[in-house]
Every structure is written in structure tokens, then in C-alpha cells.
Structure 1
């Protein structure tokens, strides 16, 4: 759990803004296996001022946490000294531009030409079963094999040289040594035969070195193609960005690049067009397709005053939108960044892989040397010894080992985002399927979050006076109960007076001075704190409203001598239609559910009873929620917290996994590991399901990555594996691991889509 502690510290640091650190991302080129990942990470971490670095083989990127005084050029230089290439990630760079190079032009032709040149070398072996004994001229074999060895295989020598300079070893070292051994042995045979003029049958192995290089190039090509599919979710999100926006400036309609749109610009969106910016509708009404952003399958009705998200598709209405966010601050851009961040991060299970891969290549080199010596000394057949050593070196290339975890995470987080589940870090993805307890906030999480003022019970003042003072205290507040009061005041045409000395009482209420008098509005806990006497009739009324699931607020006046109760306000909020099904689904999974709310006991009990929640705790302050979560965690229980408000942020950070509703505050979303883009409770069991499916794939991939080597290396060392078969197996292992991860793309939410 130590890593979780580090993550918690990072989140707390972000919330408090006390640490002058930040993160950057770099493209890394030249990595071929898990060993490369370790070398790049070590090189980056060796730079003074680097806090942490996570390198991902599948995305070919490094996510680096560093102090502000560290220069990016210093990091790039350290990576280059380690034998790799690093560059900045441009905001508008196509995610797959580097991968695309492997699908087009030179790279594709290299695979084709290498295969065509290798074919005459391997053809005699294919003809033997048909009793056709034909052999290509030895010098022609040398010419063809040399071209493949040093032109197409030149990259392996360059990479090996860089690795040796950096005092490290990677997959390319194994390939270079293995193919060079087969090639040089064949050249040696030709020289000896020529010097002795024996004229006997030559045993050449040019086809082994040529075919191995061709197979590796082909495997890399297939691997790159499969990698591209793993990032399909990111590309789908990126494709939502329109290039042009139609804006209204100086009374004229203009088409401009999306990059030149400004905050408060009025954007015109015609039927069927993509909405280019985040904003609020100021004219018109329509339906908007937000499926690729939130996973919502049905179009959502939008009217004047409603928010729209850039990248969503306008329906059949013409709307005018005033811009509220552009560029990297837009919702779509933030979602893309968060998904990319999750895909670049490492899951805790990757630690085991990293430890293995850090010593893997040196161990294989030792096994290869022992194989060479054993066969050469005990059998006296050094030719056979070299071939067996080549097979060992080739079969052991740890490509699949490095791809097993990141490819599964890429596909898993991508398909989750497609269905409205934004997983922000790999640790949350790994832990989600192990959750034992889920604690829920009430308002906005299990309820719709749009409470209405249902009862006003004044005491020694009029209803209008009670509503006027309460509305004045809540002026400018974004709290759901505050909005309900302000709406009621507006409907009753109440003139709201000015206030001074306003003070928020976190989790309890608010106080301010109105027309020279000090007023407090808040919970029963605030009432008790100031020893306010409450009328018996009001107590009975409060108990009745609470038993019906309503929330209660009290207004009192405080003077120098005492506090005087002025009235009671009650609010009702309807449950989300999928809340009960969510709780039932979680309980079927064996997960215990808890309700943590700052509301009164009666309201909490009513909600818990309606939803069949296992336990409930009422009148809990924000710090109390966090302490409660911490206490549960101390029993070695995996705890998730679900919330949507700023008051929930401490508890979200304290939990093993914080799950935030996107319909809530930014503070809650920043403090969480998972964000539900539709605010639908049913996405919670779906998030657990995709977590389970993803880590099933990771385990399967690691099994296959290890099993190829566990079976293949002994077979090669015993002389039972042809070097060309070893090369094919190595290529197949990488592609099979990625293909298995891609099966996650078929995942669908088990609980369906709900329209809340």
C-alpha cells in the first residue's frame, strides 16, 4: 500500500498547492523491450531534481514529475546519453504519427523487400520435403544475407552500440549477437572451404540470420499496427475536435480557426455540426449527441442557459453559444489529457515486471554463453553450439514482457472512457476490482442533486422575512440547498438585502451580518454548537420532515447575550433512478455499502432504507468523512469513496479509490481516481467490471509472456529449437499479447445506459 500513500500525498499536494512541482511528458524513441524502459527510467531519475519518472513501452512516452528548476533539455540529454532519443510532446501532435511511420513508406517496404530477399535463402529448406535438393550459389547467398544483415539489420547494431556505451543491454543486443553469430559462422565456413579447396557440401546458415531479421522487422510492423488499435479511444476523442468555428463578431458571421476563438465569443452552431467549444446556450434549443464524450447513448435536450461541451454533435436545432472554455481548458481536452495520463502510468503489478526485466537480458547472455560452452566442450560440435546459442538469444527477446501490462491498460482505460468512465490513474484501475466497501455521499451522488425548498416554518418572524434572510446568506453560493433557497426567493419576488462579514462554516453552514444583525444558517449540529433553544412544535416538524427523507436547515440570530431561533427550512431531493439498482449490483458483488452524509439522522435513515444500504452515518463533517475512511482502511480493507462536492474532496483523497461524479465540482474530480462522466451510479459497478476484465488480460498477457520464455529457452538450450522458429516465436509472442489486450475493446457496460 506504500504506492497508494505516495499517490495520496501527491493528490493532497495538488489540493493544497504547497509543492512547487509539475509534470511533463516526453516522446521516447528507440525502445524495444522492457529492459529499454528500465534504462530510460534510470537515466531520467539520475537527473537532480527529478521526483519520479514512468516510461511506457506501448505509448513510447515518459511521464516525469520534477521540480521547477529542472530544465527539459537536461532530461533529454540524459536520455540520449543512455542511447535513446527524447523530444517534447506537442499539443497538436497526432498521437499515432510515429506509429504511422511503421505502417507507411520505408518501413513497410523494408519488411517486403527483406522478405523477398530472404525467400531464395530459405527456399531450399522448403523444397527438401518434395525430394528436391537445390542450393543457391554460396557467394550469392553471402551477397543477399549481407544486404539484409547490415542494411535492414543495421538498426540493431546501432542500438547495441548505444546500449554498450550506456553500459546496459536490451533486446537489440540479443538480436545483434544472435544473427551475427549465424552470419559470421557461415562466412567462416566459406573461407575455410575456399582455403582448403575441399569442394564438399557447405553448411551455411545465412538463411537463419536473414529470416530472423525479417521476422523481427515483420513482428515490429505488426506490433506497431496493433499498438495503433490500442490507442483508438484517444484518436476517436481527438477526431471530435472541429478545425473551424463560426463566430459572431461586430455583428458579422465569420469562420475562423478554432485556435483563434476567445472566451465570451458567440459561436453559431448549425444543425448536425460539431460544437467547437465549451459554453452556454444563449439562444435556441436543440438535442445534443454526447455519446463519445459521456457514453450517453441518447441525445440530451438543451435549452437556453444549458451548458454544451465542445466535440459533442448538435441535433436539429440552431443555437448560439457563448464560449466559456477553449483549447487545453476545454472539457474534451481535459478528458484526453486524463486518459493519456492513465495510459502512460504504471500499475503496481508492473513493479514485478520491471524487476524481472532489469536483470533479464544479462541472465540470457549468461545462459547463452553456458549453452555455447556446454555444446562446444561436451559435444565437440561448435557449429551446433553456435546455432543453439543463437536460438537462445532470439527466443528470449523480452518484447512481450514489456507490452503485457501497458497495452491492456491502454485498451481498458480507452474503452472505459468511451462508455463514460474516466479512469485517471492505473492504480485506481488495478484496485477497483478489489474493493470491499464503498462509501457514498448523498446529495448529487445518490440523489439528483437539485433539491427543492418544500417547507418554511418561521418562528417569531414572517415567512417572507425567513426566506429573505436565508436567501441573503446564500447569495453567491453554489451549494445545492443554497440554489433551492435562491430559486424560491426569485419565484416569490423577494428583494435580497446586502450582507457583510460573510463566513463559511465548513460542513455546518454559513453566517453573515444583515442590517446590523448577525445571522447563522445551517445544520442541527450548528444549532447545538451555539446552544440554540428550539421550539417543541419545530422539533416535531423537523422529525416528521426528516423521517420523510428531507434535509433540514435552521436560521438563528446571535446577539451578545444569546441565540434566538428564527425558523426552519426543509428540502426534498429525489433519488437517481439507477441508485437502487447500483446498490443492489454492488451487494451482488459482495461489496458492503455505507452512506456518509452531513445531513440529519432522519434523512440519512430514510435514504438508506429506500436503497437498502448496509450502514449509514449522519451529521458528519468533511474531515469526519476522511477520518472515517482512514479508520476503515486501517483494517486492511480496500475502500472507495463516491462523492461530487468540494466537501467530499478530503474523503476522496483518503480513500484507496476516489470516485467522483462529473456533475459535481472540479475539486472532487481532481481528488478522485475515477470520474463518472454521466454522474450515473450504475457506472460504479461497471467501473469495477472493466477493472476486473483489464487485470484478467494483464495476468493472461504476463502468463504468455513468461511461458514463451520458460518453455522456449530450455528447448533452445537443449538444441530442440531452430533459430528461425525461435525468431518466429519471438515475433508471435509480442503480437499475441497485444491482440489479447485488444479483445477488451468488445467490453460493454453490464448494467446498460441510464438517462438520469
Structure 2
């Protein structure tokens, strides 16, 4: 049975190189399948192959390979990297050629030999790859550059040929820098993963590899150390910085029974933690996997650009051929137009165009992940920028999902005995409203009840001192006319009523509400201000839903809905032409989340379901991340459009210079390098946080 291994790559700078690298690996005997994730620089190979063989397959682009479980080594400074030695020698020779040309002339044999030597040393790998692809009739950028440089040498423009070699190398380096920089976000997540843990063995603790930990093992986490694995605290108290998982900067207090996550930092006290997840199942591992998969999924714009690039290069070659052939037929200088045609080939390098979209998408997804926002793919990032309607679930999304007693009205003064009865009846009822009532009572104790009974869909009851007390819904009581009138008078809009008393007499009424998230009002206000229609779709009753909708200024409120009703509502809006997003807790909202153009989930740090269900998950459970994602999406779309404009605009301007005969190889390579530089720097603006 063939084994599957995962590797991480360094130096993978362009999509053309990636495709070539895959073909080279597939040609290795013993290799069955190859899957390369360009955005994440991650390689999966099934078969029998060594790291040395893989690096040999990527030697043309100086690609370095390491097993996925091996941390990256410290980066080698540019001046110490042997891969850059040919460039350094070529640069020195070029400068020497310039000095010689000033002293003995450009046409001197010494000058030409120096420039030709610079071309040979600096461009030999380019020429080898270019000739290989030319024989295969695969007209990639290496072919274009090879033809242009050799053509320049043949017509005696050796100085410009040498300059093209050097500037092309700089352009490649810039492209490589852009991709490595955009991958730094995901690499920083990988670097968070601890390699060892202090495992309890008997009464002692020993250092073991994190991947050797099993569920149920106990590990000790010292102050100032990273949490090695997901687990539950069984002893100790500390403040844990969870910024790596949730993006929140304020440390969270952890004590017995609290969950801790791999990669977070234990700041103060010592903790003992029982392992609940294997190393490959942790929140951090899932985040890394999801972000890497997201970077491999091409956004619609990227698919369009890739398709366009296939026709773009042959079109450029045709234009270059026409420039070389047609003017001389009408008396033009053949050597001049041959030079112009070669310059068009250089301008036509598709580097900047091909990198214009992926570098922006990878940068945006990685930047969001570092802030605790998981985006599952470029398509979801793009779709978020087109949203015109957002449907909110209520409980756990707009509200905290933690009901509290907002008011208590006593029909007769409550005695301490009666408070104790309420406390005892509700203490073990297990309902969220019961918990709210218990939390509202102070200085109460459990009393002995007889005939304790939970009556489904009504409430609970029990006998204390020969009197039967009950607490629950109004239908649980035989309310007399006097009490009924009082209940009607004290109705609180948006609150749930829970009654306490005997069967025939009401003693007290608790008004309970689910509290709004602190950020809900501001988030809805900002969305409304941006022209996005806001909906609330909830299973709660109409009175409660309408009250919360009015408080938040929600555009439309749809209440008393089952999960299938929510799904139908989403479909109805889509059929009307709306680009609708759904945001919920990822459990009972799963059908609607899946149907929406973009599904957002809350509670990522707490639930695996949220991560699995939604297209975008907020790890720190903060609703204010919603407008941030929409803004990030719109910024990314704008930057992609700008990148495509830069890439094509500069090249078009350069090509138009052919008409007056002003296009030179120098201008051509500067146009290509300038486009790559602009695209690179413009995309890296996405690393800056704009709240």
C-alpha cells in the first residue's frame, strides 16, 4: 500500500513554476499521486519518494522541501543564500561592463564579452528551462524571455540583454517575496504549534512529543509556556492569552473545568490539564487545515484571470510577430522592428497578471485567520463583498443566549420560605429559564419537598408543609379573575412570564429576557448605514422577537419559524435576486447556513459544529467581526481590480510605445517589473488592519 506524506515548501513563487514542479514529481518512479496547494505552499505525495528527489524536481526554481512535521529553519539572509550567487556574479559583471563601455566603448570586444558572460551566468537556468518549454511548444514566460534575450544578442544589443537578465531576476525575487510574505500569516499559525508537553507518568512528569499524547492523558503547563494540546483544566488557576485562536488580546481566566486550546499562552499560574483531543484534532490544527484548504480554492476572479492568461501569452507572441514582420514589408528597418518585437515579448510576460489575484486572496485569508476569523475559501471572501441582505438568528447571535430575570412582581410579599421553595423547585429543573430564576435569588437554601414533579411544557411542582406550590407557564395555573386582571396590567413587552404560586393563587411573576450582545446594536446600525437589509429569523414568539427587532432597528422580523421555515425564507430571498448571508450558531441553523450565499457562524472557539457548517467562522464569538469581514472582502475585491488594472495597464502603455518606435528592452522589463512590484505592494496592504 502506497504511503501518503505531506511536505511544506519554500521558494515556490509562481503558478507556472508550481505546475512544472508537479509534472517533474509525477515523472519520478514510484510516485502515484501529487496534490500541490500553491497558496499554502503545501505538497501531498502518495508513493515512494525522498525529500532529495522532490528538491531535485524543484531545482529549476530553487524550491526547498521539508516534511510537514518539521519546523522551518531560520531564514538564510539574502547575501548568504547560494541560490543568489549567479545573480550576484552577473550583477558585478554587468557593472564592470558598464565601466568598460565608458572607457573603451560599447562596441569594444572586451565590453561585449563581459556582458555576454553576465548573460550566460545570470540566465543559464532561464535559458535551459526556456529551451525545454520551447521544444514542447509550451510558450511560458521562460520562453518569452529566452527568445528576447537571445534575439537582443543576435542584433548586437548585449548590454540590454544583460540588463533584461538582471531585471528579470529581480522581478522573480519580488514575486517570491510577495508570496512568502502573504504566506507568513498561515506560517505563524503553524509555528504556534508546540512540539513537546510535560506528561504525567505515575507521580512524575516527563517531556514527550505532543503527537504521542492520547485522550485522557494529564499534562502540566508551566507559566510562560504554550498550551501543547486541547484539554480541560483539572487543577490550578491562570490567565491564558488566547489571541492565537480567537484574536482577542485580553487574557482569559482559566480554572477547574475550563477548556484550554493548543497554541495559546499560559501567562501566570501553573495548570494541570486532561487531554481531550489528539494533536491533529485540536482547534489550532483545524484552523491551519481550513486556512490552507481555503488558500487552495480559487476565487471566481482568479479562475477568470488564469483562463485569460492562457490566451494572453499567445496573443502577445502574435503581436510581437506582427511588429517584426509587417513594418519591414512597407519599407521599415528590419533590425529596428525586430528589436521592437523582442521588447513586446518582454512586456508580454504574464507574471504580474497571474500573481495579481492569488497574492491578494492568500494575504486576506491569512490576515483574517490571525484575527480569529476563519474564511474557508476565496469564493466566500468574494461573495461577502456582494452581500445586500443579512439574516440573523436571534438566540446566541444577536443575544447572548443567557436569559436573565429583568423584573419580579410580587402579588403578595414573598416570605423566605417561599423563596426557598422557588429555589428548590427550579434548582434541578434543567431549563434555561429555571437557571435565570435561581441566579436571581440570593441567600436561599434547599428545602425538603415531597411529590416533586416536572410537568412537560408547563412547569414544576412540589409540596412543602402540606401546601402544593408550582412554577411555570400561565396555563399551569387556574388563574382567578382578580389575578388575571393584574397579569394583563403588568405585561412586559418582549419578556417571558414565569408564574409562581399555588394552583389557584398567584404569588409572584418573574419577567425573563435573553440579554442582547453588547455589540449587537452597533453592528446592525453600521450594516443599515451601509445599505444592507437586516432580517431576524427566529423560532421565538412574535412579541419577544418584535421587541428585540425594534430595539436593534432590524429591517424585518420573521418569528416562530422552524429550521425548514428558515431555509425556505433564505431561498425566497435568493429567488428575488438578493445576495443573502445567514449568521447563526451553526447547530439548528445548519440548513439555512448552507443555503445562504455566505454562511457565518458564531461561537467558533466553543463549537466544532460552527467551524464545519459555515463558510466563515468568528472564533472569538464576536458579532462585530461581521462588518469587518464585509469590509475586508470589499477591500480585497478593490485591490484585485486595481492589480489587474496595473498589470494590464502598464503593459498596454509599453506596447503602445511601439507606434512611435520608443519601446526599448529597458522600458519593457521595467514595465513588467513595475507591474509585479505594484501588484505585490498593493496586495500586501491587506495585512494592515482597518477596523
Please tell me the TM-score bracket, short chain as reference: 0.7 to 0.9
Distance apart, 1:493 and its partner CA: 7.2
Alpha-carbon distance between aligned partners in 2 of 1:228 and 1:84, rounded to the nearest angstrom? 14
Alpha-carbon distance between aligned partners in 2 of 1:240 and 1:732, rounded to the nearest angstrom? 36
1:43–1:108 distance in 2 versus 1, CA, 3 Å? closer
Please state whether the residue corresponding to 2:402 is helix, strand or coil.
coil
Q: Which among 570, 575, 585 is matched to residue 516 of structure 2?
A: 575
Are the aligned partners of 1:34 and 1:357 in contact in 2 as well (CA < 8 Å)? Answer: no
Matches of residues 110-509 of structure 1 in structure 2 within 5 Å? 110-123=86-99, 127=102, 134-135=105-106, 137-138=108-109, 141-142=112-113, 144-164=114-134, 167-183=137-153, 185-186=154-155, 204-451=156-403, 471=430
Distance apart, 1:420 and its partner CA: 2.3
Distance apart, 1:366 and its partner CA: 0.9
Are the aligned partners of 1:652 and 1:668 in contact in 2 as well (CA < 8 Å)? Answer: no
Alpha-carbon distance between aligned partners in 1 of 2:142 and 2:628, rounded to the nearest angstrom? 41
Please state whether the residue corresponding to 1:288 is helix, strand or coil.
strand
Q: Structure 2 stretches of 5 or more lacking a match?
A: 27-33, 409-420, 460-473, 500-508
Distance apart, 1:330 and its partner CA: 1.1
Alpha-carbon distance between aligned partners in 1 of 2:389 and 2:73, rounded to the nearest angstrom? 39
Q: Structure 1 stretches of 5 or more lacking a match?
A: 1-22, 46-52, 65-69, 187-203, 456-461, 475-479, 496-514, 524-531, 555-567, 750-756
Q: Is 1:691 aligned with 2:613?
A: no
Alpha-carbon distance between aligned partners in 2 of 1:543 and 1:669, rounded to the nearest angstrom? 45
Are the aligned partners of 2:361 and 2:636 in contact in 1 as well (CA < 8 Å)? Answer: yes
1:344–1:570 distance in 2 versus 1, CA, 3 Å? farther
Distance apart, 1:104 and its partner CA: 5.1
Q: 2:29: which partner in 1?
A: none
Q: Is 1:105 aligned with 2:81?
A: yes
Q: Is 1:91 aligned with 2:68?
A: yes
Alpha-carbon distance between aligned partners in 2 of 1:544 and 1:168, rounded to the nearest angstrom? 83
Distance apart, 1:643 and its partner CA: 0.6
Q: Which among 671, 681, 687 is matched to residue 739 of structure 1?
A: 681
Does 543-552 or 687-696 show the bigger shift? 543-552
Q: 2:567: which partner in 1?
A: 626
Distance apart, 1:703 and its partner CA: 0.8
1:408–1:386 distance in 2 versus 1, CA, 3 Å? same
Q: 1:20: which partner in 2?
A: none
1:179–1:494 distance in 2 versus 1, CA, 3 Å? farther
Alpha-carbon distance between aligned partners in 2 of 1:493 and 1:388, rounded to the nearest angstrom? 94
1:664–1:261 distance in 2 versus 1, CA, 3 Å? closer
* RMSD across aligned positions (CA): 4.4
Q: Is 1:654 aligned with 2:598?
A: no
Matches of residues 23-102 of structure 1 in structure 2 within 5 Å? 59=40, 90-92=67-69
1:134–1:692 distance in 2 versus 1, CA, 3 Å? same
Are the aligned partners of 2:368 and 2:375 in contact in 1 as well (CA < 8 Å)? Answer: yes
1:28–1:464 distance in 2 versus 1, CA, 3 Å? closer
Q: 1:640: which partner in 2?
A: 581
Are the aligned partners of 1:546 and 1:602 in contact in 2 as well (CA < 8 Å)? Answer: no
Q: 1:509: which partner in 2?
A: none
Alpha-carbon distance between aligned partners in 1 of 2:345 and 2:435, rounded to the nearest angstrom? 69
Per-residue CA deviations over 1:104-149 (Å, capped at 9, x if unaligned) read 5222222211111222334466x4xxxx66347426623x444444
Please state whether the residue corresponding to 2:91 is helix, strand or coil.
helix
Number of residue-to-residue matches in the alignment: 634
Per-residue CA deviations over 1:558-615 (Å, capped at 9, x if unaligned) read xxxxxxxxxx998643221111111111111111211111112222122212222122
Per-residue CA deviations over 1:193-242 (Å, capped at 9, x if unaligned) read xxxxxxxxxxx321122221111112212322232222221222222222
Are the aligned partners of 2:8 and 2:68 in contact in 1 as well (CA < 8 Å)? Answer: no
Question: Could you tell me the TM-score, scaled by structure 1's length?
Answer: 0.73
Are the aligned partners of 1:644 and 1:660 in contact in 2 as well (CA < 8 Å)? Answer: yes
Q: Which among 593, 606, 610 is matched to residue 668 of structure 1?
A: 610
Distance apart, 1:385 and its partner CA: 2.4
1:272–1:392 distance in 2 versus 1, CA, 3 Å? same
Please state whether the residue corresponding to 2:631 is helix, strand or coil.
helix
Please state whether the residue corresponding to 2:515 is helix, strand or coil.
coil
Alpha-carbon distance between aligned partners in 2 of 1:41 and 1:570, rounded to the nearest angstrom? 65
Distance apart, 1:171 and its partner CA: 0.9
Per-residue CA deviations over 1:433-485 (Å, capped at 9, x if unaligned) read 22111111112112222336899xxxxxx9799769954xx8xxxxx679879
Distance apart, 1:642 and its partner CA: 0.7
Are the aligned partners of 1:103 and 1:221 in contact in 2 as well (CA < 8 Å)? Answer: no
Are the aligned partners of 1:388 and 1:717 in contact in 2 as well (CA < 8 Å)? Answer: no
Please state whether the residue corresponding to 1:451 is helix, strand or coil.
strand
Distance apart, 1:60 and its partner CA: 5.2
Alpha-carbon distance between aligned partners in 2 of 1:522 and 1:122, rounded to the nearest angstrom? 94
Per-residue CA deviations over 1:630-656 (Å, capped at 9, x if unaligned) read 111111111111111410111111111
Question: Could you tell me the TM-score, scaled by structure 2's length?
Answer: 0.79
Does 669-678 or 227-236 show the bigger shift? 227-236
Does 165-174 or 682-691 show the bigger shift? 165-174
Alpha-carbon distance between aligned partners in 2 of 1:571 and 1:386, rounded to the nearest angstrom? 84
Distance apart, 1:167 and its partner CA: 4.3
Q: Is 1:682 aligned with 2:658?
A: no
Does 236-245 or 34-43 show the bigger shift? 34-43
Alpha-carbon distance between aligned partners in 2 of 1:632 and 1:63, rounded to the nearest angstrom? 41
1:599–1:411 distance in 2 versus 1, CA, 3 Å? same
1:485–1:86 distance in 2 versus 1, CA, 3 Å? farther
Are the aligned partners of 2:90 and 2:119 in contact in 1 as well (CA < 8 Å)? Answer: no
1:674–1:170 distance in 2 versus 1, CA, 3 Å? same
Alpha-carbon distance between aligned partners in 2 of 1:647 and 1:543, rounded to the nearest angstrom? 34
Alpha-carbon distance between aligned partners in 2 of 1:310 and 1:710, rounded to the nearest angstrom? 51
Please state whether the residue corresponding to 2:248 is helix, strand or coil.
coil
1:353–1:540 distance in 2 versus 1, CA, 3 Å? farther
Alpha-carbon distance between aligned partners in 1 of 2:511 and 2:23, rounded to the nearest angstrom? 60
Alpha-carbon distance between aligned partners in 2 of 1:397 and 1:410, rounded to the nearest angstrom? 22
Are the aligned partners of 1:364 and 1:396 in contact in 2 as well (CA < 8 Å)? Answer: yes
Please state whether the residue corresponding to 2:233 is helix, strand or coil.
strand
Are the aligned partners of 1:149 and 1:210 in contact in 2 as well (CA < 8 Å)? Answer: yes
Are the aligned partners of 1:264 and 1:323 in contact in 2 as well (CA < 8 Å)? Answer: yes
1:89–1:655 distance in 2 versus 1, CA, 3 Å? farther
Alpha-carbon distance between aligned partners in 2 of 1:94 and 1:628, rounded to the nearest angstrom? 48
Please state whether the residue corresponding to 1:416 is helix, strand or coil.
helix
Alpha-carbon distance between aligned partners in 1 of 2:69 and 2:491, rounded to the nearest angstrom? 53
1:637–1:444 distance in 2 versus 1, CA, 3 Å? same
Per-residue CA deviations over 1:157-189 (Å, capped at 9, x if unaligned) read 333344346543211110111111112x15xxx
Alpha-carbon distance between aligned partners in 2 of 1:442 and 1:715, rounded to the nearest angstrom? 61
Per-residue CA deviations over 1:387-436 (Å, capped at 9, x if unaligned) read 11221111110101011111111222222222222222111211212211
Matches of residues 476-555 of structure 1 in structure 2 within 5 Å? 521=457, 537=479, 547-550=492-495
